[in-house]
Homo-oligomer: A and B are copies of this chain.
Amino acid sequence: MHRSVSSQPAALFALDLTGTFAFGLNGALTAVRAARLDVVGVVVLGMITALGGGFLRDVLIGSLPPATLLDWRYYTLAAVGGLIAFALSRHLRRIETPIDVLDAVGLSTFAVIGATTALDAGLDVAPSVLLGVITAVGGGTIRDTLVGRIPSVLSTGLYAVPALVGAALTVATVEAGVYGLPAALGAAAACFLIRVLGLRYGLNAPEPPETRTRGGSRDAGA
């Protein structure tokens, strides 16, 4: 039922490396803010944020060892991002917006590549979308769990919804036989825009009726 997605376009590969660095940086910054950790803890959490989603995807499709452990650029960029976050955490706070934008690049690229990787592994449409989302949000979820926070993917739709859109558009273009660089960039751009607009305007997915009546989401994710 599925045709093989040809190997990723080179532009996507560059975005993927950018996203890995951004996730390493931002993941480690989040760790610095959430808990007092030494340099080992901060770098480890940066690497987990950057590589964890791909690990989960590659474990679930049985493609082991994970791709990012077989290419030195991935784990090196993840570690460098974490080290920079450790050394410059105070200064990086002043440039939150560019870091958020880089992070959204990572989210978008990971969703697209995660979905195509799952299709290539023979998974059907819905699980491939799911694995795109897991690739995009899995690393941050592991990091949040390790530092004792409710994962942001659970408490705010701002993270999962754009990844879902990006992965679904990707799978749709593959199924329609029109996947390629333009389609990949289009799907990633849709994810990116939703994520950035959501951050800018604080949009949220609906909450269950019960919790709404108890006072809304002000302290969701606390």
> Could you list which residues of chain A lie within 8 angstroms of chain B, going by C-beta atoms?
31-32, 35-42, 44-45, 55, 59-62, 64-66, 69-70, 72, 75-76, 86-87, 89-90, 121-124, 126-127, 130, 141, 145-151, 153-157, 160-161, 164, 204-211, 214, 217, 219-221
Contact = CB atoms under 8 A, between A and B. Distances in A.
A89 B146 contact: no
Copies in the complex: 3
Contacts of A155: 35-38, 41
A148 B221 CA distance: 11
B153 A208 contact: no
A154 B65 contact: no
B153 A38 contact: no
Given A145-B146, A217-B36, A64 B69 contact: no
B217 A75 contact: no
A86 B209 CA distance: 8
Give 7 closest A-B pairs by Cβ, nearest first. Answer: A62-B64, A41-B154, A38-B205, A69-B127, A36-B220, A40-B160, A40-B157
B217 A38 contact: yes
16 contacts: A38-B156, A38-B207, A39-B205, A40-B164, A41-B154, A42-B208, A60-B66, A60-B69, A65-B123, A69-B127, A72-B124, A75-B126, A90-B209, A90-B210, A141-B146, A146-B154
